Every structure is written in C-alpha cells, then in structure tokens.
C-alpha cells in the first residue's frame, strides 16, 4: 500500500538512503533538512524535498501544512534529524548542550505535535523515532549525546502508550555504528575544544577509535537502516524497538546484563 511518508534529517546518511528505497517502493516520500541542495537528487527520483530546520516552529508548520494540502494525510513520520555532540561535561558549553537537546529532543517533539492531530483524525499512523544504541548505554565524552538519546527513549515509550488508543504505532530505531557523517561531526566537535583540556588523552584515544571505525568493517552501511525502516513501514504490527547495525546488539546486551562496574571496566579498557 502506498503511504505518505515524512522523513526529517534526509540530506545524507541513513535518512537519504532510506528515502531512496522508499521512493523506489512506490511511496510518496517528503524529505526535509536544512541542506535542501543535498536532496535535489531525491526530487529527480520522484521524492519531495523541502527545506526545514527542526528548531524553527514556523518551518515545521509550513512543511506539515504543505503535505496535508497536497496529500490530505501523513501516514508515517520518521523523526530522524539529529547529531552527535562530543566532549567532556566540563569542556562542552551549555550553549552547545542546549542546541543538542533542541535538535535531538525538542525538534522531534515539535514535529510529533504538529503531525499527531492528523493521525488521530485518521485513526491511523506510524511514528518512528531515531534513538541509538547510545540511548541504552554510554561512552565517555558523549554525555550530552547520550542524554539526548536517553530522552528520546523515554519520550517514545510514553508516546507509544498515549497514542495506542488512536491506533497510532510508535517504534524506536536504535542504530549501532553506521557509516554516516556522525564520525566527522564528532571529530569537528573535538577540534573546537582547547588543546589545554584536561581530557586530551581520552579525546585522542576516541579520535583514533572513531577514525578506525570509519575504515574497513568498523561500521555498517546505511542500507541496513533503509531495509529496517522499510520493514517497519510495511508491518501491520511493528515492534516497539529495532536494534540494528554494528555492535548495537552486543553493546546493549552487555550494558543490560553485566552491571555498571563491569560495563565501565569494558568501556575504559578501550581508553
């Protein structure tokens, strides 16, 4: 069945790869991101790219109004926009931390608030929220990123219970290491921190590990996310969570069953 799908954060990586797949499957796909120039190829494939910043309510309202006026409905909302902010709690400014939360958490919530009324009216809908394996565990230097993804997990659970009465499904996507721009953003964040930071030794090891993960078999291809989202979209009864990609399952398993102290030792052994 052809569905009207709205994807945020679709200018690259997982969002863009998935948009291509869903378009090829015959769905009506609207993609939004700040960098609209990077989505023009989706337009040539039959997609509908729109420029939007998830931190601007007027942008969100325009996008939702545009889709409703043209299609009359939104069947699937994939809240995929987000980024990683890395650095120690001591070093990262609260201005940067608030921006992280604004994009990763409040942007997702704002999109959801604008779309849900139409799904309620239709008594049908699917919301997919991109969390991360980082929403279930943690690494040093990632406090604000992990905090944002832990918030996505909690928000999604509450949302699922609230919307069940309206036949709206909520699924959480928990990717592991995926070959996207995430690593380059992480390295850029580190470059803004003073070289006199007390945490340079730890940062150097994380930088080395990030570069290594970006080579060879250190990350999964975005296509594993595209295949998973396609599966969620076509399911009549999707699971509440989908853990997919390099290291996602084993890392979350260790965090769940080994306890804090042992998991801490495992993580720090890599430092």
Compute φ and ψ for 76, nearest 5 degrees. -135, 130
User: Which of 238, 264, 265 is CA-nearest to residue 78?
Assistant: 238
Instruction: Work out whether strand 168-175 and strand 76-79 pair parallel, antiparallel, or are unpaired.
Output: unpaired
Contact 168, 237 (CB under 8 A): no
Q: Which of 16, 30, 86, 131 is catalytic?
A: 131
Q: Which of 3, 21, 136, 149 is catalytic?
A: 149
Q: Is 145 a catalytic residue?
A: yes
Residue with tokens 């909302």: 77
Q: Is 131 a catalytic residue?
A: yes
Compute the distance between CA of residue 44 and CA of residue 129 in angstroms, rounded to an integer: 27
Contact 196, 266 (CB under 8 A): no
User: Which of 210, 218, 233, 251 is CA-nearest to residue 80?
Assistant: 233
Q: Which of 30, 86, 145, 242 is catalytic?
A: 145
Compute the distance between CA of residue 170 and CA of residue 156 in angstroms, rounded to an integer: 7
Compute φ and ψ for 8, nearest 5 degrees. -95, 155
Beta-strand runs (E) in 37-75: 48-51
Q: Which residues are catalytic?
A: 11, 131, 145, 149
């Amino acid at each position: 069945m052809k569905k009207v799908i709205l994807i945020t954060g679709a200018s690259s990586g997982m969002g863009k790869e998935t948009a291509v797949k869903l378009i090829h499957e015959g769905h009506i796909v609207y993609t939004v991101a700040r960098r609209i120039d990077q989505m023009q190829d989706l337009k040539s494939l039959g997609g509908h790219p729109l420029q939007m910043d998830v931190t601007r309510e007027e942008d969100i309202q325009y996008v939702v109004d545009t889709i409703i006026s043209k299609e009359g409905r939104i069947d699937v909302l994939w809240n995929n926009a987000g980024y990683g902010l890395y650095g120690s709690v001591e070093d990262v400014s609260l201005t940067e931390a608030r921006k992280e939360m604004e994009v990763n958490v409040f942007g997702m919530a704002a999109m959801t608030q604008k779309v849900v009324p139409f799904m309620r009216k239709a008594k049908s809908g699917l919301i997919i929220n991109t969390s991360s394996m980082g929403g279930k565990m943690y690494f040093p230097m990632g406090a604000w990123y992990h905090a944002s993804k832990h918030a996505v997990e909690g928000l999604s659970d509450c949302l699922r219970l609230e919307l069940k009465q309206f036949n709206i499904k909520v699924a959480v996507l928990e990717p592991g290491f995926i070959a996207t721009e995430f690593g380059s953003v992480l390295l850029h964040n580190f470059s803004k921190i003073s070289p006199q930071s007390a945490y340079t030794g730890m940062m150097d090891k994380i930088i080395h590990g990030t570069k290594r993960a970006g080579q060879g078999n250190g990350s999964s291809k975005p296509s594993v996310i595209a295949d998973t989202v396609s599966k969620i979209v076509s399911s009549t009864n999707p699971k509440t969570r989908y853990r997919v990609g390099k290291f996602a399952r084993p890392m979350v398993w260790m965090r769940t069953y080994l306890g804090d102290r042992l998991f801490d030792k495992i993580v720090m052994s890599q430092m």
